[in-house]
Amino acid sequence: MDFIFLDYTTLRVIWWLLLGVLLVGFAVMDGFDLGVGTLLPFVARTDEERRLVINTVGPVWEGNQVWLVLGGGAIFAAWPPLYAVSFSGFYLAMFVILFALILRPVGFKYRGKLQSQAWRDNWDRALFVGGFVPALIMGVAVGNVLLGVPFHFDDTQRVFYTGSFFGLLTPFALLAGLLSVAMLVAHGASMLVLKTEGPVAERSARLGSIAALISFVLFAAGGAWVALGLPGYAITSQVVTDGASNPLLKSVAITAAGGWLHNYSTMPATLLAPATGLLGALAAAVLLRRRRGGLAFIASGASIAGIILTVGFAAFPFLLPSSSQPGSSLVAWDASSSHLTLWIMLLATVLLLPIVIAYTIWVYRVLKGKTTLQEMGENPNAY
């Protein structure tokens, strides 16, 4: 078709990159909300301090959820088989995440409805669950991407998931989950240091620095595990990058330990991703110790981006490997929507994504500055 200027292969790569951008956007923008919720019981000891913590993210957490919607929408529209396998195979895990995420808005809205301290304490616990659980399970999910997931397609391309929820909780996946929690806690602590003062900021700086160091150690340990003990996946048949989306038209083999590192040897520039993940975590730890909230937020955000991109670059072109039938693995070349669909969606993204980014920048510019008890008292809309 003459009006389609980009070939199918290029569009698939672009949408693979856009998926990474959206996942990074969600982790960086909504990640500090999750980190703040996880930190709530540990950095705030009085009701006033807890209100202060909640109000640092109160005006922005709903807007940050846009990145989650965009990421889910991109998977649904650009990678339908990936959406089908993920949301059916990980059904219970997705339900737990959604339940935890639902607790957040309810906790924000209902916490201040009664003066009872027991009532408020219970909603504070709900906000902790709403931050900790999604961070943990999303990290576990990413860990299982590298491990492979037990699913397969039949001759009619119906998907069958043969695993279980608890089967996802392997040692490597749990390490990835704890890494996710640690890096988001450090990110949330950076926001609290940036937005608050006094004891809350001091506790946040101390705990955030520890979390950043833990994320450094866990990321390094995960990298060593991938290099020395974790098998990878490789396409063993001819690679057709512009053919029809049919996962059953290729053959895939499980490689020896270290197989996921192949892309780093053939594309050395991708080593910037793990380097950024490690150095960003160290920088965040140092900057939090020095109470430099803004710079720490940038460093922790860079670390998050580097960690996520490390997984993406290592796995490319795999989107979701199958551990039970490797030939059913989903890769960028056989799990996308049609050429025309990807092109139309790209046009819509080019028009709409800058609006989302511009609106986000404007909101944070309007809301810049410290959150204080005085401001909360003067604002009738404060939580």
Indicate if the pLDDT at residue 146 is higher than 90. Answer: yes
Contact 278, 161 (CB under 8 A): no
The pLDDT tens digits for 335-356 are 999 999 999 999 999 998 899 8
Predicted confidence band of residue 13 (pLDDT cuts 50, 70, 90):
very high
pLDDT of residue 60: 87
CA distance 64 to 372: 22
Contact 306, 277 (CB under 8 A): yes
pLDDT of residue 369: 84
Indicate if the pLDDT at residue 253 is higher than 80. Answer: yes
Query: Burial level of 159, CB count in 10 A (0-12/13-18/19+)?
Result: middle
Contact 33, 188 (CB under 8 A): yes
The full DSSP string for 156-172 is T--EEE---TGGG--HH
pLDDT of residue 173: 96
Indicate if the pLDDT at residue 383 is higher than 90. Answer: no
Please provide residue 326's backbone torsions phi and psi, each rounded to the nearest 5 degrees.
-50, -30
- Which of 72, 222, 219 shows the shortest CA–CA distance to 146? 222
CA distance 175 to 147: 12
Please state the rounded mean pLDDT for residues 70-80. 88
The pLDDT tens digits for 83-129 are 888 887 788 888 999 999 999 889 988 988 888 889 999 999 999 99
Provide the 10 A C-beta neighbour count for residue 366: 9
CA distance 216 to 230: 19
Please state the rounded mean pLDDT for residues 69-86. 88
| Single-letter code of the amino acid located at 173 | A
Indicate if the pLDDT at residue 329 is higher than 50. Answer: yes
pLDDT of residue 3: 46
Please state the rounded mean pLDDT for residues 161-168. 86
CA distance 84 to 320: 11
Predicted confidence band of residue 4 (pLDDT cuts 50, 70, 90):
low
pLDDT of residue 37: 94
User: Encoding tokens for residue 37?
Assistant: 């919720």
pLDDT of residue 368: 86
Predicted confidence band of residue 156 (pLDDT cuts 50, 70, 90):
confident
Predicted confidence band of residue 178 (pLDDT cuts 50, 70, 90):
very high
Inter-CA distances, 11 with 2, 52, 100, 213, Å: 15, 45, 35, 38
Q: Give the whole-number percent of the chain exceeding pLDDT 90.
A: 66
The pLDDT tens digits for 256-309 are 888 999 999 999 999 999 999 999 999 999 999 999 999 999 999 999 999 999
Question: In DSSP terms, which residues pair with 149 in a beta bridge?
Answer: 322
